[in-house]
Chains A and B, each alone.
Chain A
Amino acid sequence: MIIHNKIIKIAIIGTALFLTMTGTVMAQQDTLVDLGFRKAAKGKIVNAASVMNVANMQDYDNIQTVYDALSRITGVKSASNLRGKGAPLFIIDGLPRDITYLNLSEVEQITVLKDANAAALYGSASANGVVLITTKRGNSRNREINVKGHYGMYVPKALPDYLSSVDYMTNYNIARKNDGLSPLYTDAQIANYQWSGNPYQYPSVDYYSDEYLRSYRPFSRLMMDLSDGNDRASYYATAGWSHYGSLLNFGEGKSSHINNFNVRGNVDMEINDWIKTSIDMAGCFLSDRQPLVSDGASDYWAQAAVLRPHLFVPLIPIGMIHPDNETLLGSKRNIGGTYLAGGSAAYLSNPIADVYLAGNNNIVQRNFSFTNRINVDLSDITQGLSFATNFSYDFLNVHNEYIQDQYAVYNPVWVADGIIADLEKYGDDVHTGTLNVGGIVVGTRRFGASAVLDYEHTFNQVHHFSGDFVAYASQISLSSEVQSTKNTHLGLRLGYVYADKYLVDFTSALVSSAKLPPSRYTGFSPTFGLAWVVSAEDFMRQFKAIDLLKLKVSGGITNTDAQMDYFLYDDMYISSYGLGWYDGAKSRNGTLPAYGPNTHLFFEQYKDFNIGMEGVFFNRRLTIDANYFHTLRDGIAQQVFTAYPNYYTAYVPYENFGRNEYHGFEAGAWWKQKLGDLTVKAGGTLLYADSKTLKTSEIYTNDYQYRTGSPVDAVYGLVAEGLFADQGEIDVHALQAYGTVRPGDIRYKNLDGNGIVNDDDQQQIGRYEAPLVYGLDLTLSFKRFTLFAHASGQSGANGFLSGDYYWAQGDSKYSSFMLNHWTETTAQTATYPRLSSLAQSNNYRTSTFWMYSNNYFSLDRVQLTCDLPVKQGNVLAVKSLSLFIDASSILMLSKAKDYLQLNVGSQPQYRSFSIGFKTLF
């Protein structure tokens, strides 16, 4: 365990070392970076923006999704968390879109706009930052065909481990004994389950055994893209197909699969010498076929985590039933002529029979995306002036196609010698064979439009002026919601650069909100940025090791309504529970306020400050990028419930009340070195993101209970002091107000010393979000071989065990986790509280007892690529060919590995291995 910690520490120190000593050029200073409404050379950027050139990366790293790529970028924790603040705005080709349906191989570049100054032109939705994704385009000079394919398997990382029938019964009897009740299962009964040898009469069902599950899930992908062009037009086209098999190896589970097909065509045209236009279209078709489950709400995995092993036999062998049995003869549906479905009056279906007999559901998703851009060159009016528009329309719909069958279950009546004497039948056999089409489960439409007047000109080779005037509108409508998300704003950016040394930027937005009261619906969001390219100064010439050194500072205010709902200011009344009278001939709904009115409601404001540096050193071998950031999220719209009585809840208005602070540090360093035939590239990113609640609606008895001053993600709970050894200890300890306490129960600290342990004794015991995350990349190229590895880790957060798998109580299924539970004889060594057949409210609540540190270090990807020698001018016109073998989620070092890698009640987490090729024609 100590070793794990050391490795994590070494990883952190290693990352820090990269910052001070080593590293490679990720993006050159003169590369053009897409900044949304304009492109700029990296050297001319004032604010905190990071760029990833995806196209290059894919030569040696075969990751598939934008999600995977994002977490490699400095400052990005995940697709839903930028700098610890929350989900950024995703912009694909200029307008907001869903990244779920985008294949990474279609992507050219990803830019992350992290500070307010960089993101401001995106208005209200940009408060947490913006991720800009640019798809590939055709090249007018070069015809290229790329074909890529791979095949692989997903292997479950871990499966739940539940007790067998015998162990369950034995432990359940202990649980009853602990509650002062008599044992439920007699020794004779338990012995039958242990020794009878008839698993149908005395079942011990293991839903995770290889009887039902394959050892892996196969998958394969094939992708082709094509680009070409001439003087007037060029295009990029791609088509891809992926297929994922199933882990279940029986019935409908065998044939269940996911099929995903996607296409894209990006076309650029010159209408004349001053008007250019482009039309992009993309589509994605996904079908996900799964077995249906009878109880509707859950799937195989959810049921497998609940049903205890001894309850019933899911499959009854027909061979054990007398062939003349009338119920058997009357049965219409069986499983392959071999089994009948098992069950009872209380269990009218079971997950295994479901997979065989309940039918299947096909979730069909279709996504379509359209973009049109027009670019008008206005340099006739003034040198450097242009006008551009962008218009987008996307839609997604999801529906279900299902065949729903019913089946009868049978409860066998056994005679002593293991022969079924009779069957009790419950339910009916109905095989409809009818394909039903469910209504639109989800339908999403996205509109976006923007127009920008752009100016850029350098006078006398030193004064570089630029500016943008932007009009922007977007709308996202979900079929499930009445109101769509609307964003409209005007943006103005003014930039000045003197001699590539001093950079000034003013970017602002006049934001309009459809959510705020009519008198207060616009907000002005100003931001400033300053940068100084120190290395361009004459006095720096002498420092040969410094190729570039830029210092920058930016700040601003972003008005946002993204977290608010519509009409929160209004005096809204809703219909509530009603009354019927005159035997139902008359009825009336209740009327109740939804909340109180507040005509002063305004935008939330993000007050943002960023200070950073960029540097390139040692003849461009080392690149460093680092920022300190601080954001005050002010005026969070919330109902201040604690200022009103609890019966007044429905009347409480929304106010701009809450305040949170986010701050931290991010850094990335890349180093590249050639050593003969060996090229080494190494890089590291690090993000330390902390937060603090400054103001929120709360009231507590004790100071230590207040959330103010603690991280936004703080977890409050009781402080456990081990297990009570005997009644004497309980008697002298403070009374614990969570139900009857017996020896073997968790003992909690009475923080306020008032003699009663209750919710007032909860203090901050941990936090959910890891403040420190880091990633490491290593690429080694030797002649034809390239080895790539990526690792990541996090530190400083906690997880909490909960749910039936860890908390055995009442009639829950017992897992092997509770085997070392407390009994009088194991009192000294027990690591788990006493079992109980009733509710165990005292033990099963958030406390330090169930807390663990979820620090980890994980080797996420390794890929070995080999470029095969290709003879130019060969028959197949192959220009290059490479083969690769890769693996994902390979290894995790963590004390909490067992918890982090286990899914209970849903599909397991997988590690994957695959082999593939990539050719260029």
Chain B
Amino acid sequence: MKNIIINRVIVSFGVTLALTALTSCENIFEPLDDNHSTFERVLQDPAFAEGLLTTGYSRLPTNSYSYNEAATDDAVSNDKLNVYLRMATGEWSSTFNPVGQWSNCLLGIQSVNHFLTIVDGINWRESIPAFNILYIKRLKGEAFGLRAMLKFYLLQSVAGETQSGEMAGIPLLDSYLQSNADFNIPRASFAESVENIYSDIEKSLNYLTMDDYGNVSSAAELPPGYGKEVVGIDPATGQAAYGNYNIVFGNESTQRISGRIVKTLRAKLALLAASPAYGNSQDLWEEAAVYAGGLVQSAGGVSGLDPEGHLFYTKAYTDRLNLAARKDRAEIIWRSPKTFSYELEQANFPPTLFGNGGINPSQNLVDAFPMLNGYPTHLPQSGYNGSNPYAGRDPRLSAYIIFNNSFFQGATIITGQGGKENAKDSIKTSTRTGYYLKKLLMEEVNLNPNGISSQEHYMMRLRYTDVFLMYAEAANEAWGPDGDQTGFGFTARDVVRAIRERAGISQPDAYLESIGDMRAMRALIHNERRIELCFEGHRFWDLRRWKEKIDEPVKGVDINASGYNYADVEQRAYRDFMYYGPVPQQEILKYNSLVQNKGW
């Protein structure tokens, strides 16, 4: 009897054990170790630690083209649900803000601040002690520069007048916020915000004393602050070990934030601060002119303007960029690496070329292009012919915009009557204005499903033409069309002349020379800026900075047997407070120290 009992107990246990063995091929009580990362890894793994800084980079609005021109008088989108279309036709609000940068930039700033709390303690490269010092210097220089840049784009999107009439700026996040932090952070005034960004720029330039990254070939070429006490001593020569410098600051660091990039940001900031929507004082314009002028000067003055800089997006231009051979062009201040793609073309090519015809340049923009002789089309001297409107125009028109009868990719694109799918409004992917986008697209991309071919593209983040025009604008406001108080050796008019010459308007052109006063020159510079920088995301903010008309209806053209008929395509339902963007409404609810801009 006892044996039987023992037997039964043994059997029961045996069965249980067998079952346990069967099921425990994976520990059933614990999660699978999925190798996920924790903060521990941030401290151990330099690549992962640097990722905190990279997150800051990834938040830059210049990482891709936004095409927010569809919210301006330069273009419309043919996607009827496009967010910029919706915003521009009356939906823009503090809860629907496609141009908002609040959470995007502040997250970037928070991540950069996080990075700054750990940068000194990371073993960036163990082998040689000097490397750690050099890496920390470069990374801090980048971090402060990046933080300044994120603050700038946030400021541009949210700075504005509050109900009390004060010009408010951004919340100043200069330290990493733990989860128990006081988040009720007020916005600093516009002036304080600008000062704060300048101070980040100064900090950055203390580290990034060189304009550009690149290998040096002797100790003598080392930039200020990078002597032997920093880079170490080469035992063979007793000189500074410039090879160490090359590893950290050399060729392989190009396309990260450099001194020149930070200086460009400083010029942009100064221009924003001086603009009519904000400061608009003589001193501020001068400051802006000096910062931009310095950059122009360091590029060799007016003659340093890249002769093909206005066609920077073409295949011919892109193919000639060769970083390894240090052949980046004069136009480029900051660009992304080249990658093969066809997405931009797919989004914007006309339908017969298998594109979606997305961004449609407006008649308003087309009208802004002068004639080849330099005169605006509305002046009698221009020779403009209303029944042949695209003939004899500034060559930039046919470079940037596909109009009726343009020859593109081996075909004539007809946007008027008889143009089938390409004709205005004919199908969902047809143009709504009578124009298709050409700028930024590569004609060599083939979207035919029989043999789709992509091309190498790069994304332009900052370029010299912008800097030239910034100088022209600021110098004109500070000193007039022909003033050069600081002795740069070039004036606003000189810069405009160079840009128009490059475009193909032979110089001297009578129209430019006829410009007398600051006001007329201002209009011309604004127009040149509109043309040169179109579709690169400038127009939306430029109009607001200048306090120019933002509710101009967008026009298009119907071309048929009766000729060219111009009609409004889309209204711009902006109200007068919409020169300044909103703070997200939920943040105002959560934090009583935050003040909303007037009207929102």
| A joins B in a complex | yes
Residue B160 interfacial (CB < 8 Å): no
Q: List A562-610 residues whose CB lies under 8 Å from chain B.
A: 566-567, 570-586, 588-592, 596
Question: Is A498 in the interface zone, CB < 8 Å from B?
Answer: no
Residues of B within 8 A of A239 (CB): none
Q: Report B75-104 residues with CB < 8 Å from chain A CB.
A: 80-82, 85-86, 89-91, 93, 95, 102-104
Tell me the smallest distance from the CB of B375 to a CB of chain A, in Å: 32
- A699-B41 CB under 8 A given contacts A576-B51, A588-B51: no
- In the complex, are the beta carbons of A572 and B38 less than 8 A apart? yes
With most chain B CB atoms within 10 A of its CB, the pick from A389, A488, A651 is A651
One of B1-9, B241-249, B286-294, B393-401 contacting the partner: B1-9
What is the CB-to-nearest-CB distance from B129 to chain A, in angstroms, rounded to a whole number? 23
* Cross-chain contact B179 with A651 (CB below 8 angstroms): yes
A572, chain B: closest CB distance, angstroms: 6
How far does the alpha carbon of A322 sit from the alpha carbon of B118 in the complex, in Å? 76
Q: Do A809 and B48 have beta carbons less than 8 Å apart?
A: no
Shortest Cβ distance from A387 into B: residue: B12
Is the C-beta of A515 less than 8 angstroms from some C-beta in chain B?
yes
In the bound complex, residues from chain B placing their C-beta under 8 Å from that of A592 are 51-52, 55, 111
Using A346-B427, A573-B37, A582-B337 as known contacts, say yes or no to A376 and B12 having CB atoms under 8 A apart: yes
Beyond A573-B42, A591-B48, A647-B102, whether A578 also contacts B28 by CB under 8 A is no
Assess the B589–A699 pair: CB atoms within 8 A.
Answer: yes
Partner of A180, one of B91, B104, B568: B568
Chain A hits for B81, CB < 8 A: 810, 839
- Find out whether the CB atom of A645 lies under 8 angstroms from the CB atom of B22: no
Structural contact, A645 and B591, CB atoms closer than 8 A: yes
| Cα–Cα distance between A274 and B4 once the two chains are bound (Å) | 10
User: Cβ of B252 < 8 Å from any Cβ of A?
Assistant: yes
> Which residue on B lies nearest to A453, using beta carbons?
B12
List of A residues within 8 angstroms of B573 by Cβ: 739-740
Contact with A along B332-375 (1 / 0, CB 8 A): 00001111000000000001111000000000000000000000
The answer, yes or no, to whether B320 is at the interface (CB within 8 Å) is no
- CB closest chain-A residue, reference B553: A180
The reply on A891 being an interface residue by CB < 8 A is no
Does B183 count as interface, using CB distance less than 8 angstroms? yes
A311: shortest Cβ distance to chain B, in Å?
Answer: 7
Q: Distance in Å from the Cβ of A817 to the closest Cβ of chain B?
A: 19
Give chain B's interface residue range (CB within 8 Å of chain A): 35 or more
Judge whether A880 is part of the interface by a CB distance below 8 angstroms: no
Question: Across the interface, do B54 and A475 meet the contact criterion of CB distance under 8 Å?
Answer: no
Q: Mark B96-137, 1 if CB is under 8 A from A, else 0.
A: 000000111111001100000000000000000000000000
Q: How far is the CA of A566 from the CA of B253 in the complex (A)?
A: 39
**Chain A proximity of B428: nearest CB distance (Å):** 4
Contact B252 A380 (CB under 8 A): no
Is A427's CB under 8 angstroms from B450's CB? yes
Q: Is residue A678 contacting chain B, with contact meaning CB distance below 8 A?
A: no
- Enumerate chain B residues within 8 angstroms of A428, measured Cβ to Cβ: 449-450
B37 to A275, Cβ gap below 8 A?
Answer: no
**Which of the residues B80, B179, B590 comes within 8 Å of A838, measured between beta carbons?**
B80
Q: Which residue of B lies closest to A700 (CB)?
A: B589
Assess whether B379 is interfacial by the CB under 8 Å rule.
Answer: no
A738 to B390 Cα, complex, angstroms: 38
Docked complex: B420-473 residues within 8 A CB-CB of A: 420-421, 425-429, 448-450
| Identity of the chain A residue whose Cβ is nearest the Cβ of B353 in the assembled complex | A345
Q: In the assembled complex, which residues on chain B have CB atoms less than 8 Å from the CB atom of A567?
A: 31, 34, 36
B38-89: which have CB < 8 Å to A?
38-42, 47-52, 54-55, 57-58, 80-82, 85-86, 89
CB of B257, distance to nearest CB on chain A (Å) = 10
Q: In chain A between 489 and 544, which residues have their CB closer than 8 angstroms to a CB of chain B?
A: 512, 514-515
Q: Whole-angstrom distance between the alpha carbons of A488 and B20 in the complex?
A: 12
Question: A512 to B31, alpha carbons, bound, how many Å?
Answer: 12
Closest residue on chain B to residue A579 by CB atoms: B57
**Contact yes or no, B428 A589, CB < 8 A:** no
> In the complex, which of the residues A381, A391, A584, A810 contacts B339, with contact meaning CB atoms closer than 8 Å?
A584
Given contacts A346-B421, A566-B31, A582-B251, whether A590 and B57 have CB atoms under 8 Å apart is: yes
B236 at the binding interface (Cβ < 8 Å)? no
Q: Which size bracket describes the interface of A in this complex?
A: 35 or more
Complex contacts, A701 vs chain B, CB 8 Å: 585, 589
Taking a contact as CB atoms closer than 8 A, the residue among B32, B55, B425, B585 that contacts A484 in the complex is B32
**Residues of chain B contacted by A377 (CB below 8 angstroms):** 8
Q: A332 to B93, alpha carbons, bound, how many Å?
A: 55
Q: Which of A483, A582, A591, A740 contacts B55 (CB under 8 A)?
A: A591
Are B29 and A488 touching (Cβ within 8 A)? Answer: yes
> Cβ of B50: which chain A residues have Cβ within 8 Å of it?
588, 591
Q: Are A585 and B429 in contact (CB under 8 A)?
A: no
Contact of B86 among A311, A570, A580, A841 (CB under 8 A): A841
State the CA gap A811–B430 with chains docked (Å): 11
The B234-273 residues at the A interface (CB cut-off 8 A) are 251-256
Taking CB atoms, residues of chain A closer than 8 Å to B590 are 642, 645, 699
Within the assembled complex, what's the spacing in Å between the Cα atoms of A758 and B95? 9
Residues of A with C-beta under 8 A to B106: 645, 647
Chain B, 166-207, CB within 8 A of any chain A CB: 177, 179, 183
- A sample of 14 cross-chain residue pairs with beta-carbon separation below 8 angstroms, ordered by A number, consists of A344-B420, A389-B19, A391-B23, A483-B34, A484-B26, A484-B32, A566-B34, A577-B58, A585-B337, A588-B51, A591-B42, A738-B91, A838-B85, A841-B91
3 cross-chain pairs, A with B, having the tightest CB-CB distances, nearest first: A591-B51, A810-B80, A647-B106
* B interface residues with partner A (beta carbon < 8 Å): 1, 4-5, 8-9, 11-12, 15-16, 19-20, 22-23, 26, 28-32, 34, 36-42, 47-52, 54-55, 57-58, 80-82, 85-86, 89-91, 93, 95, 102-107, 110-111, 177, 179, 183, 251-256, 321, 323-324, 336-339, 351-354, 420-421, 425-429, 448-450, 558, 567-571, 573, 584-587, 589-591
Task: Taking A378-B8, A486-B29, A649-B107 as given, write out 6 further A-B residue pairs in contact, using a Cβ cutoff of 8 Å, ordered by the A residue number.
Answer: A380-B4, A451-B15, A483-B34, A583-B321, A583-B338, A699-B589
